[in-house]
Homo-oligomer: A and B are copies of this chain.
């Protein structure tokens, strides 16, 4: 429904992590990203060719995707200039921001005048049910993190790719804007009305073949006070058979919360597993996914070995070293 390929808009991203939507598209659908558009002061770089709107248009890009997230999601006047020009140049716009394109009268007016489309992938398009908690057939795995933005989506995408490579039945289930832009559908969970969160996750992961795995994209963290309710709804709506613990070891504090520290992997396990057993008494913690992007390779491998010894669980960085260990653990369930 969103026309490809994309030009990825990085705006004035304050750091690389703020552009995780663009990074996700570039990593998982690189064939869909012809280039990147960066404004003055942009601190993110996808390693794609920097292009003007005209250059990207000539290279075949059809949609400008806003690949950068702001806390609270505000569309600044500096961004607006680019977005309006993009519509005038013949691009559609696609966004996962809270602040919707379709709530901006100027963008609506220009889109109508130019015949271009505004896609807000964050807007739920389904009336989700209230969760009923009934046991569903098929298998489900969910990554839960010590913090937000520690690699839960990548963990799920890596495990899904590895299972497909092995010929196993497997589906990635997107719950955030990046995942939805990557796969084309899913539930924009953080925009769902509170009462229907768990029901939307049940809806997203319905009955399936007994040997089919849903890889549910995680959100937030039980230890991140801003978003823990969303995580809770994933754990109870997803009724996972398996949890993966996800961690990024180099943070000074919880993302966006300078007063809060990340928990240990043991603390995460001891809080997440009893909660998961409420919805699925058979649930097990089967492995650890460590985001080692800020560690040298030797350091990363030593860290993973230590985690395996401490936790008595397989541990890997699935994006860097492959998801085999995690998929082996899931297949053994």
- Which residues of A pack against B, CB within 8 Å? 71-72, 98, 129-135, 189-195, 197-199, 222-223, 225-233, 235-237, 239, 256-257, 259-260, 263, 270-271, 274-275, 278-279
Contact, CB under 8 Å: B259 / A133: yes
With known contacts A271-B274, A274-B271, A275-B271, A132–B226 Cβ distance under 8 A? yes
CB pair A223–B278 under 8 Å, yes or no, is yes
Q: CB-nearest residue of chain B relative to A237?
A: B225
Is B226 touching A130 in the complex (CB atoms < 8 A)?
yes
Residue of B nearest to A263 (CB): B278
Docked complex Cα distance between A177 and B256 (Å): 32
Chain B hits for A257, CB < 8 A: 132-133
Chain B residues with CB below 8 A from A233, complex form: 194, 228-229
Decide: B236 and A225 in contact? CB cutoff 8 A.
yes
- CB of B192 within 8 A of CB of A194, answer yes
Distance from A326 Cβ to chain B, minimum over Cβ atoms (Å): 25
The residue that A135 contacts in the complex, of B131, B239, B259, B263, with Cβ under 8 A, is B259
Q: A194-B190, A195-B190, A225-B236 known; A129 and B230 CB under 8 Å? A: no
Decide: A193 near B195, CB < 8 A? Known: A225-B236, A232-B232, A278-B223.
no
- How far, in whole Å, are A136 and B162 apart by their CA atoms in the complex? 46
B225 adjacent to A131 (CB under 8 Å): yes
